[in-house]
Amino acid sequence: MRHSNLCAAICVALAAAPAVAAAQADKPAAPKAERACFRAQDVDGFNAVDKETVDVSVRRDVYRLTLFAPSPDIDWTQRIGVESRGGSWICAGSDATIIVPEAIGVQRYPVTAIRKLSAEEIKARKPR
């Protein structure tokens, strides 16, 4: 008796499988996250959000960079450098270093994360 119930359950599951697959095929695929890549030489401005976060402008786009450690001088400096590591494109945090001039030279801050800001986020930013 248990064996026939198990066989019946398997048959029902197998019969329903094509309908489930067809329903999933009709659903649009979830959009893939856009990869945020830019070249260091294309950076044309920056805004320090706080001591660990910097927004860099690349033409019309803005990328938010998270630093590995806080920079006590990033919020008042007039300029920064963005250096790419391992290639000319910066696509992930491990690809970039922020260079900040300080009173005794320059300090280098590895970037741990990069995120491209949306148009709404760009409009809501406080100007430097």
Domain for residue 47, yes or no? yes
Residue 93: per-residue pLDDT: 84
Q: Is residue 52 part of a domain?
A: yes
* Residue at 57 is within a domain: yes
pLDDT reported for residue 110: 95
pLDDT in tens, 20-59: 445 555 555 444 455 679 999 999 999 999 999 999 999 9
pLDDT of residue 127: 61
Is residue 25 assigned to a domain? no
Q: Position of tokens 């590995």?
A: 68
What is the chain's mean pLDDT, rounded? 79
Quote the pLDDT of residue 124. Answer: 87
Q: Is there a domain that residue 123 lies in?
A: no
CB 97 within 8 A of CB 85: yes
Q: Which residues contact 48 (CB under 8 A, 6 or more apart)?
A: 54, 55, 74, 75, 77, 128
How far apart are the C-alpha atoms of 89 and 37, rounded to whole Å? 6
Structural domains counted in the chain: 1
DSSP helix, strand, coil percent of the chain (3-state; round to 5): 30, 40, 35
Which of residues 81 and 22 earns the better pLDDT score? 81
Inside any domain, residue 108: yes
pLDDT bucket at 83, cuts 50 / 70 / 90: very high
pTM here is: 0.69
Provide the pLDDT confidence category of residue 103 given band limits of 50, 70 and 90: confident
Match 């398997």 to its residue by tokens: 10
Name the residue range of residue 83's domain.
38-118
Task: Provide the b/e sequence for 81-120 (b: ≥16 CB within 10 Å).
Answer: ebebeeeeebeebebbbbebeeeeeeeebebeebebbeee
Cα gap 73→3, rounded to integer Å = 74
Q: Does 12 score more than 50 pLDDT?
A: no
